[in-house]
Structure 1
Amino acid sequence: MIDTKGRSLELFYIDGHPDGMITAELFNWTGHVFVTPRTRLTEALKREEAGYAGVYLLLGEKEGEDFAYIGEAEDLGVRLKQHAAASDKDWWETAVLVSASANRLNKAHVKYLEARLIAMAREIGHTPLHNGNSPKLPGLTEADIAKMEAFLASLMVVLPAIRVDMFIQRSRPAGSSRPVPAFEAAEADQAATESVRFVLNKPRIDLTAKAIFQGGEFIVEAGSQARSEWYGEGGQSASYQPLHDELVRSGILQMVGTHRVFTKDYAFRSPSAAAAVVFGHSVSGPAAWKLESNPDISFRDWQARQLDAVTEKDASE
């Protein structure tokens, strides 16, 4: 069951702007997240939380792709100094330090969090890791495991808010995004289960993709086809090329005959991102995707009707 309860998140921009040092905390959570650019490391390590035990993420790019390292330390500041001086880690630009208020995490806790984060990142596969072997989970009591899993669940709420998306699972098992049967939907939240189906065709090369718009996500279904390679040119047209390359690298897009095929359902952030990956070049997704039940209606047309219906409802009330 998806937890749909609201959460209160507080972001504090220490430098007064979003590209500087940031702290992030959830209401009623003992965790504390601190983000610092590498260029502000001297100031960052003077802060109290930099001396706490915790886990950390080093984020940057290597050979034009997102790259990351996940580690743990009993003193985060000491470890970051070591990484800043290491010649094999010149690529990282941002550090994310995760600790707990009053320095409540112990060595076993942070080793558990490190092992779980590395395993999660590798399973999702969005961002290659600089880490070598995957560490084993340390022996914790049943109660401590429950605490750390709850800690991780809250951390997964905070990280996307500070633009760390490497733990967002957008691929789904094939068929998992199918519309919920009516007898099940009656017991669930209607807004979260309503779905509309769209199709994208390119008859000239015999290519078809299908998608479900459900729960605010645009999910291309497993079995949908995509161009074999990225055909777009540079500049704005290449904005979705890294996403296309990532899906190829992770095995979500695999060659079958002359096209690539989605091996899993995949949730895109927008119809345009989905259409670009399918066509191999940037395209207006709202115009390209057509309602499966009526190909004369685009996603843009369908969404406009939904918005009109809301306006009319508000006017009548």
Structure 2
Amino acid sequence: MRPFSLRVFVPSGDPTGVLIATRDDGIGKATIFSRSLLGEVKGRKEWNLPGIYLLVGPSKLYIGEGDPVGKRLEDHAAKKAFWERALYFTAETRLNKAHIQHLESKLVKLAQEAGVVPLDNGNTPQAPALGEEEYAFVENVLADLLLMLPLLGYPQFEASEVAAASSDEEVDAPHAAATGKRRAAYSAMPRGLLFHSTSKDARATIETVDGGVLLKAGSIVASEPAPSFDVWMPKYAQMRRQLIESGVIDAQDGRLVVKQDQFFSSASGAATVVRGVSSNADGWIGADGQNLGDLLRQWKQKNFC
């Protein structure tokens, strides 16, 4: 995460009125208003742009998209009685119909995963197919939006527990020294050790090699990553997509199967791609029952403490 500023503009001068929030480095703006101010918001140009929106009541949340966003909000004012406040997010010339459908799908799944408040949505919308560049763009928009929402009073997408970070300095080594330690730890281990991991619909095997591990052909990868995977683990989400697009991971009998051995510089990276959620090396278990995370920590303690 990087530092940022959030600016809130109050067009009427009344802090209980319509609010316009923008990030200093963002591409769009969030318009926040109470139900009684719907008529005032209709006069703003953002009303006629494609956008994603949230309707919030005392104990319920609805997430939707519209192109233009205003028409959908007007429909909900007539047909949905539960909501008291609303927020919609637009970006003139930058967000199109496919972008906002992607944002809607991801926000619904994130809200379901967080479980903070019941959703009024009747179904889970499917995200449209996007090219690699467009996908990366809209995921960056989503990440920025998720940082803004809690500051604007919308915490419904924050899970009570964040996925455990790696304890073996592997998931994203922050500097060259840590990367060097990691490589040295793997290089010092005997070659050819096998470790296995089983979780939900994933079942995989890795083998220790010089400088890292091999995810073995025949391993089964989780068919669907966690909804928050792209947000919190973008590096491995992108790696997972590339491996699927290249055919290294391919569909077979309704499952995602690793078709050829794939090198990873860390066991946690392999576990994260396999499980589709932030993972560490502790989940890789050897034939003697010892996990790979403990072996790596023992090596680091011996050599760097």
TM-score, length-normalised on structure 2?
Answer: 0.53
C-alpha contact 1:113 1:148 (8 A) present in aligned 2: yes
Partner residue in 2 for 1:130: 120
C-alpha contact 1:53 1:103 (8 A) present in aligned 2: no
- RMSD of the alignment, in Å? 2.1
Displacement of 1:188: 6.8
Matched, 1:163 2:163: no
Deviations 1:245-296 (A, max 9, x none): xxxxxxxxxxxxxxxxxxxxxxxxxxxxxxxxxxxxxxxxxxxxxxxxxxxx
For 1:135 and 1:156, the matched residues in 2 are separated by 19
Q: Which of the numbers 71, 81, 84 marks the counterpart of 1:78? A: 71
Deviations 1:89-108 (A, max 9, x none): 111011101110x2421111
For 1:177 and 1:72, the matched residues in 2 are separated by 33
For 1:146 and 1:177, the matched residues in 2 are separated by 23
Higher strand share: 1
**Structure 1: unaligned runs, 5 residues or longer:** 190-317
C-alpha contact 1:72 1:114 (8 A) present in aligned 2: yes
For 1:118 and 1:18, the matched residues in 2 are separated by 29
Displacement of 1:177: 7.5
SS of residue in 2 equivalent to 1:171:
coil
Q: Which of the numbers 79, 82, 97 marks the counterpart of 1:107? A: 97
For 2:117 and 2:105, the matched residues in 1 are separated by 16
Matched, 1:51 2:48: yes
Alignment of 1:79-98 (within 5 A): 79-86=72-79, 89-98=80-89
Alignment of 1:81-230 (within 5 A): 81-86=74-79, 89-100=80-91, 102-172=92-162, 176=164
For 2:28 and 2:144, the matched residues in 1 are separated by 8
Partner residue in 2 for 1:292: none
- 1:124–1:20 Cα change, 3 Å: same
1:50 alignment partner AA: W
2:127 alignment partner AA: L
Deviations 1:188-218 (A, max 9, x none): 79xxxxxxxxxxxxxxxxxxxxxxxxxxxxx
Q: Which runs of 4+ in 1 moved over 6 A?
A: none
For 2:140 and 2:174, the matched residues in 1 are separated by 24
**Structure 2: unaligned runs, 5 residues or longer:** 176-305
For 1:144 and 1:188, the matched residues in 2 are separated by 27
Deviations 1:164-207 (A, max 9, x none): 1111222245xx379x68x89xx879xxxxxxxxxxxxxxxxxx
Partner residue in 1 for 2:21: 24
Partner residue in 2 for 1:216: none
2:139 alignment partner AA: E
For 1:139 and 1:177, the matched residues in 2 are separated by 30
For 2:94 and 2:165, the matched residues in 1 are separated by 40
Displacement of 1:17: 3.6
Matched-pair identity in %? 36
TM-score, length-normalised on structure 1?
Answer: 0.51
- 1:177–1:111 Cα change, 3 Å: closer
Deviations 1:100-145 (A, max 9, x none): 0x24211111111100110110011101110011011101111111
For 1:21 and 1:53, the matched residues in 2 are separated by 19
C-alpha contact 2:4 2:24 (8 A) present in aligned 1: yes
C-alpha contact 2:4 2:25 (8 A) present in aligned 1: no
For 2:23 and 2:141, the matched residues in 1 are separated by 11
Partner residue in 2 for 1:40: 37
